[in-house]
Amino acid sequence: MRLLVTGGAGFIGSHYVRTLLQGGYAGHAAGYADAEVTIYDKLTYAGNLANLEPVATHPGYRFVQGDIIDARLLDEVLPGHDAVLNFAAETHVDRSILGAADFVVTNVLGAQTLFDACLRADVPRVVHISTDEVYGSIAEGSFRETDPLLPNSPYSAAKAGGDLLARAYAVTHGLNVSITRCTNNYGPYHFPEKVIPLFVTNLLDGQPVPLYGDGLNVRDWLHVDDHCRGIQLVLERGEPGEIYNIGGGTELTNRELTERLLTACGRDASFITYVEDRKGHDRRYSIDGAKLAALGYAPRIDFERGLADVVVWYREHRDWWEPLKGRAALPGAPAAMAAPAAAGAR
């Protein structure tokens, strides 16, 4: 089994690669116990080869630095692979508000370029990883895969564009591609521009944490390991052109999340700095995961335990995150904030 993982040096992609090469999917369908993986990553500010160090000497590991809009390089690399998992994306909502162009190029044009290359290379299987943010905000209930897309940020709009292209390539060209849409992820190796790693690293350094608006925006939290297990299940059993929601089952307001992080880091509410709300800030995300549950999926990692483990990981891995804090800063953000608290966590 040969897999190509685009964006494999990022937070979620690298977790998938580490789990795969460390035997985490060996008990799944045939071929994953001795799988070979090509990591294809542009190494933008959020791509980090340190995320892959635990498996970099594995005999099945290969790294290629490349952009998914580079059709010529994709044509060189793709032939012979049995599956492609597309994690490559620009993901930070706040950055998309400051400038949308990179998001459209990578998340829309990049997806189209990759899908075309997969057709030329006759790749048997593709999974396109997306986000629940494409649905927009929902006051009550939960989004199902058949609900309309109503994205409210340049980031989520660009991801929606990639999703629609994936479906179009399945219908028009017969590309065997499935789409996954996850809720907010958390876990180790998470770049410190996103809310949990930003808040944890700030609190460990005795710095304040910036909380948007009234702090009552609601998100569903999903451990990255559970997310990647869901992706693996879709890779093995998903249908062409179909969409699969992957949720964590833990809905919290951002204020509730902040309170848990303060407790875990031994700080109090005096460390909260309320900041002006973000433009177009979605109030609540919630998805119905029944479709994937019917294939046998359920999250395994309890949020309280998972969050405690993450705090310990950041406390013990300063050598990983301290060099990244400067790269996490957005233009004009106060130094103590490093970056605004992102609602998105992909």
Strands 184-186 and 243-246: unpaired
Name the burial class of residue 59, with classes exposed (0-12), middle (13-18) and buried (19+) by CB atoms within 10 angstroms of its CB: exposed
Which member of 94, 132, 220, 226 is catalytic? 132
Instruction: Determine whether 155 is an active site residue.
Output: yes
How far from chain centre, in Å, is Cα 224?
A: 8
83 phi and psi angles, rounded to 5 deg: -160, 155
- One-letter identity of residue 245: N
End-to-end CA distance of the chain: give it in Å, rounded: 27
67 is catalytic: no
193 part of the active site:
no
**Nearest partner of 248 among 191, 186, 314, 180, judged by Cα:** 186
Tokens of 27: 């008990």
3-state percent helix, strand, coil for the chain, nearest multiple of 5: 40, 15, 40
Could you tell me which residues come within 8 angstroms of residue 285 by beta carbon, excluding any fewer than 6 positions away? 132, 133, 135, 137, 138, 183, 184, 218, 219, 220
The continuous run of DSSP H or E covering 244 comes out as strand 243-246
For residue 28, give Cα distances in angstroms to 34, 85, 289.
12, 17, 21
Catalytic residue among 133, 220, 226, 282: 133
Which stretches of the chain are DSSP H helices?
11-21, 71-77, 93-98, 101-104, 110-120, 154-173, 195-204, 224-237, 254-264, 290-293, 303-316, 318-321, 325-328
Both tokens assigned to 85:
């998992």
In the set 25, 155, 169, 244, the catalytic residue is 155
β-pair partners for 131:
182
- Rg of the chain (C-alpha set): 19
Q: How many residues does the chain have?
A: 346
What residues are annotated to the active site? Answer: 132-133, 155
